[in-house]
Chain A
């Protein structure tokens, strides 16, 4: 898959964020401060602008620009987290004109490690990690077992969504939702939801 396709996928992600703006905001209003949908939509809009002139020849560059646009335009907690995720994935893909599923796995791992370094969350803190870590584990397993790329990715996305469901049952230990303690149970995490949505969009559009 080449850089032009990567840009296409990122633009699709931007569209998905816009479509789900209200839904994500409502999730965030229940146990946060109700701006997640607005932030993701605004952030990815800025990403789309930044990538307009990109030649699509350097995937590392594309992801780094995406990350920096998110950091500079989102604010709050989502900016640094998603921004770091894309920037670290970009480091992994530095100079690459093409990427395959093995590259994607490394990039997803780099992204997750970046998020955990920046936000200091671990599994079961009721955050985006609860969608991304299960997805990465499932993807790695699928590749190990020799599954075709698209199949391995499908397993990963399903795991991400199971992770999102799981966030409903646990107490938030990070972010504003953590002030609610037990009152956060029963509500799914907005960040986990937007992460799963991003992974789903990548799965639907990816060409590996």
Chain B
């Protein structure tokens, strides 16, 4: 494996130090815990937002800590849910008296660890609630699976719920807004190459020169199926097709689009994909209100992308437009 790291067991620690040194005006690290919080936490009277999960998805989630988005981000080991302790510390550090909303991606480990941290915080009489993001349409959502995974659509939740919290809304209102985004965002991804967890030293699987994996998650989990490599337009048609099957957009509706690179796919390719997304939605009479192209939730060095489409209404548009200032997402 060819990585620019030091000892595998130190990657998260060294990364967090690097982030804090790069963005001291935005974030600080909690002493003894792999947690980044807003520089001036806690902010009295504002509902605080905490998210996190396994490392390896940068800039998610530490890059979204700042005004208008998250108050705290918890970094587990690479691709591993953090334990309850750092999550609990994050909750305590950001609670400004109005309660804390946890934004949890739908993975078994994340849910259990965040739930346990919530229980610990509630024993200290801190008001905590949580929402589960499950935007990935690749996996069937049924009682017979662990449910749909949470992937790049999570960033829309951070942005919109974060904006809602800045308006001085209550914990219940911020949660409701977060749930509205979750109900209306769908994503799907694919991979051209696998990724390598530093501690493992090699990939979990291999993809041949002419192969791609559709529906791959962001931890290198096998996706729904493998296929021979198709063109950008064909891949985009497939991914957007699956999303629209689930989202059921009508002509005249407005959406936000995110074309998210998993880290090794060039910006050039992401823009080519975006063009096709636009073509497809134009055909359907759907108006694109806002587009995000770039790396929002990566998967170590995986090549590939995910597409997210969020159905908008007037409230969501307003919140999406509100100012945000974080290391990885800035809007005036």
Give the interface of A toward B (CB within 8 A). 29, 33-35, 38-39, 71-77, 79-81, 118-119, 171, 173-176, 178-181, 183
Interface residues of B in 98-114 (CB under 8 A from A): 107-109, 112-113
**16 interchain pairs, CB-CB under 8 A:** A33-B79, A33-B221, A71-B83, A75-B76, A75-B82, A77-B109, A79-B81, A79-B113, A80-B84, A80-B113, A118-B115, A119-B108, A174-B108, A175-B108, A176-B108, A179-B221
Q: How far does the Cβ of B25 sit from chain A's closest Cβ, in whole Å? A: 31
- Does B327 count as interface, using CB distance less than 8 angstroms? no
Tell whether, in the assembled complex, residue A173 and residue B145 are in contact, meaning their CB atoms are under 8 Å apart: yes
- Tell whether, in the assembled complex, residue B112 and residue A75 are in contact, meaning their CB atoms are under 8 Å apart: no
Report, nearest first, the 6 A-B pairs whose CB atoms are least far apart.
A80-B112, A77-B109, A76-B109, A178-B145, A178-B146, A75-B80
Distance in angstroms between the alpha carbons of A183 and B139 in the assembled complex = 13
Query: Which residues in B have some Cβ–Cβ distance to A below 8 Å?
Result: 76-77, 79-85, 107-109, 112-113, 115-116, 138-140, 143-146, 149, 199-200, 204, 217, 219-222
Contact B217 A179 (CB under 8 A): yes
CA distance A175 to B83 in the complex (A): 17
B112 / chain A contacts, CB cutoff of 8 Å? 77, 79-81, 118-119
* B residues in contact with A75, CB < 8 Å: 76-77, 80-83, 109, 113
Given contacts A34-B204, A119-B108, contact A173 B146 (CB under 8 A): yes
Query: How many whole Å from B121's CB to the nearest CB in chain A?
Result: 15
B204/A174 in contact, CB under 8 A: no
- Closest chain-B Cβ to A205's Cβ sits at a distance in Å of 28
Q: What DSSP secondary structure best describes chain B's contact surface? A: loop
Query: In the complex, which residues of chain A have a beta carbon less than 8 angstroms from the beta carbon of B204?
Result: 29, 33-34
A137 CA / B220 CA spacing, docked (Å): 38
Determine the chain B residues whose CB is within 8 A of the CB of A173 once the complex forms: 143-146
Bound together, the chains give a CA A72 to CA B117 distance in angstroms of 11
Interface of A (DSSP majority class): helix
Which residues of B sit under 8 angstroms from A80, Cβ to Cβ? 84, 109, 112-113, 115-116
Q: A residues within 8 A CB of B219?
A: 33, 176
Q: Please name the residue on chain A nearest to B113 by beta carbon.
A: A80
| A71 lies within 8 A of B108 (CB) | no
- A89 CB, nearest partner CB in chain B, Å: 17
Q: Please determine whether A179 and B200 come into contact, CB atoms closer than 8 angstroms.
A: no
B70 → A minimal CB distance (Å): 20
Partner of B200, one of A34, A39, A183: A34
Give the docked Cα–Cα distance between A38 and B107 (Å): 19
- Measured between alpha carbons, how far is A171 from B143 in the docked complex, in Å? 13
By beta carbon, the residue of chain B nearest A28 is B204
Task: Give the Cβ gap from B55 to chain A, nearest Cβ, in Å.
Answer: 11
- In the complex, A80 Cα to B104 Cα: how many Å? 16
Task: Report the Cα distance A178→B143, complex, angstroms.
Answer: 11
A66 to B201, CA, bound (A): 30
**Residue of B with least CB distance to A180:** B222
- Whether B222 pairs with A73 at a CB distance below 8 angstroms is no
Q: Are B221 and A176 in contact (CB under 8 A)?
A: yes
Query: In the complex, given contacts A77-B81, A183-B222, what are 20 additional A-B residue pairs having Cβ atoms less than 8 angstroms apart?
Result: A72-B85, A75-B80, A76-B80, A76-B81, A79-B81, A80-B113, A80-B115, A81-B112, A118-B116, A119-B112, A171-B144, A173-B144, A173-B145, A174-B146, A176-B108, A176-B146, A178-B144, A178-B145, A179-B139, A181-B140
- Point out the residues of chain A lying under 8 angstroms from B145, CB to CB: 173, 178-179, 181
Question: Which of chain B's residues have a CB closer than 8 A to the CB of A33?
Answer: 79, 204, 219-221
Contacts of B144 in A (CB 8 A): 171, 173, 178
Determine the chain B residues whose CB is within 8 A of the CB of A72 once the complex forms: 83-85
Candidates B83, B115, B199; contact of A73 at CB < 8 Å: B83
* A175: nearest chain-B partner, CB-CB: B108
**Which of chain A's residues has its CB closest to B112's CB?**
A80
**Distance of A77 Cα from B106 Cα, bound (Å):** 12
Residue of A nearest to B144 (CB): A173
Q: Which residues of B contact A38 (CB under 8 A)?
A: 199
> B107 to chain A: which residues have CB within 8 Å?
176
Quote the shortest CB–CB distance from A167 to chain B (angstroms).
15
* Contact indicator A175/B200 (Cβ below 8 Å): no
Q: How far is the CB of B287 from chain A (nearest CB, A)?
A: 33
